[in-house]
Copies of this chain bind each other. A is one copy, B any other.
Amino acid sequence: MDTKKMAKIFKALSNPNRLELYLKIAEAHEASFETGGECSVADIISCLNIGAPTISHHIKELSNADLITTEKRGKFLICRVNEKMVTEVSKMLTLQQPE
């Protein structure tokens, strides 16, 4: 991964509200027994105190950085973490060699 792409990923996580979005999605991913590993935008809106347009914008940034994937299901937009990307970034941060 080049540094430009890497910087984009960190930028996506650099806003406190957006980071909370990511963490919420990541928590749903961890608690996959209860949640199925997924999390709708509506869930996020109801638990964070910011407007829907802003959240929509943030979701797009996370998705654009390939940190999450999204899937439209009926009225809802379902979000999941892109586990592969996240672990890759985590390793680059600590300069670990890819396997």
**Interface residue ranges, A against B (CB under 8 Å):** 3-4, 6-7, 10-11, 13-16, 18-20, 23, 26-27, 29-30, 86-87, 89-91, 93-95
How many copies the complex holds: the figure is: 2
Q: How far is the CA of A95 from the CA of B70 in the complex (A)?
A: 20
Chain B residues whose C-beta falls within 8 Å of the C-beta of A14 in the assembled complex:
7, 10-11, 13-14
Q: A87-B94, A95-B30 are contacts. A7–B11 as well, Cβ < 8 Å?
A: no
Q: How far is the CA of A11 from the CA of B19 in the complex (A)?
A: 11
**Residue with the greatest number of chain B CB neighbours at <10 A, chosen from A4, A89, A94:** A94
**Residue with the greatest number of chain B CB neighbours at <10 A, chosen from A20, A23, A29, A90:** A90
